[in-house]
Amino acid sequence: MPLNVLMPALSPTMTEGKLAKWVKKEGDAVKAGQVIAEIETDKATMEVEAVDEGVIGKILVPEGTDGVAVNTLIAVLLEEGETAADIKAGAVPALKAAAPAPAPATPVKTVMPANTQGAAPQKTVALLPQKGGRIYASPLAKRLAKERGIDLSRVSGSGPHGRIVKSDLDKAPTAAAAPAKSSAPASSIDAKALADAYGIPYTLQPNSGVRKVIARRLLESKQTVPHFYLTVDCELDVLLKIRKDLNEGAADFKISVNDFIIKATAAALVKFPAANVSWTDDAIVQYTRADVSVAVATPNGLITPIIKDAANKSLKVISIEMKELAAKARDGKLQPAEFQGGTISVSNLGMFGIREFGAIINPPQGAILAVGAGEQRAVIKDGVVKPATVMTVTMSLDHRAIDGAVGAEFLQIFKKLIESPMSLIL
């Protein structure tokens, strides 16, 4: 029986994505485990593998299509002995499911929908089931609903899988209308209109799905998380000497200053777990392991691969893992488990000569360290002015979960570890 290939949920937070590329084309034979498409999620471009073998009978969503909702039918796979004639109208079943069950921890490979009258029975292939509680609507329908003040929860969808489309809004009863709500104030100035009005030359660079998610999450963080900032200076001369000695004796790896910072951040959280927390309305989440998210710049925007349990890993292991994760991040090959989660973040702009900055917290984490460049400064020791290599670190904290004294004590522990780094090696 033909297999319906659905848009997979490649991460717990994914609701829609861009079908970036079809690796296989109509008529191509595929085996289970072979890559058939590349999908741009909210954080990376990921490969989609076939879970059954067969022939690509029909591609329903062309590559380059943006805003494809999870569980949208994107292609049909034919099994042995089947032809395109077997697809018929049943290839696009109306999968209006009952209340969805909670998502299992393991991927779901096949689901059997009810047979369509007069059509061959179809199997549906999906990597992960859709999460419940979400309204499925096309991007156009969402935009129009917002403009018209229509409550989508009160509109029935006639599109594939019950998805709300533009025509459903045209038929929406007046009772479905509700005052339009905006999660963020719209900008009072349209940059494009302003440039047009004053004849300023420009080009337009369409926002990728990743960039849109970054913008939404950063705006949400600054609007909903009460940030406050603490800054400390750390002397690096001892650390730089130890790093030089370690790298001179290493053949297959090189330790960076950032590797020391990752290790020190995790070790400080273990020594002072009161800072290793996140806020929820019902309770403060106290983590028992220190997972450090590290900001990496990519062509599509910022992403934060995670060094898990960093306090219990050697500098060598951290160095190797970080290089591998950074390379995968830049290639868009990170798996969700490699960048989703983390209990604290580190953002280092020191390599660009930035002395000091304040970073935006990555929800639901409670803190992020903004690391500046190590530079020669005059410091006073025992009443004498001496030169030292100093690095400024600014910690952004969620004041709901972490008080000022807690953040200050954490930074004192972090500073001591950076300035006396032998404890990070032994």
Report the SS3 class of residue 347: strand
Tokens of 407: 């953040």
Q: Are 292 and 345 in contact (CB under 8 A)?
A: yes
Instruction: Return the amino acid letter for 154.
Output: R
Radius of gyration of the CA atoms of the chain, in A: 26
> Which residues, 6 or more positions from 70, have their beta carbon under 8 angstroms from its beta carbon?
6, 7, 8, 9, 14, 15, 16, 17, 130
Tokens of 76: 């049909």
Rounded to the nearest 5 degrees, what angle is found at the Cα of 159, between the Cα atoms of 105 and 146? 90
Instruction: Return the amino acid letter for 328.
Output: K
Instruction: Give just the sign of the alpha carbon dihedral 382, 384, 385, 387.
Output: negative
* CB-count burial class (<10 Å; 0-12, 13-18, 19+) for 120: middle
**Residue whose tokens read 């710049």:** 297
Tokens of 190: 């349209």
Q: Of the residues 377, 399, 400, 416, which is catalytic?
A: 399
Distance of CA 99 to the CA centre of its chain: 27
DSSP 114-162: PPPTTS---EEE-SSPPPTT---B-HHHHHHHHHHTB-GGG----SGGG
Tokens of 414: 């972090």
Read off φ and ψ for residue 154, nearest 5 degrees.
Answer: -110, 15
Report the SS3 class of residue 55: strand
Let me know if 399 is a catalytic residue.
yes
The Cα 388–Cα 228 span in angstroms is 28
The sheet with strand 45-49 has its strands ordered as 45-49, 35-40, 16-22, 65-69
Tokens of 376: 């020669």
Rounded to the nearest 5 degrees, what angle is found at the Cα of 255, between the Cα atoms of 252 and 258? 150
Q: Give the residue numbers annotated as catalytic, written as ranges.
A: 399
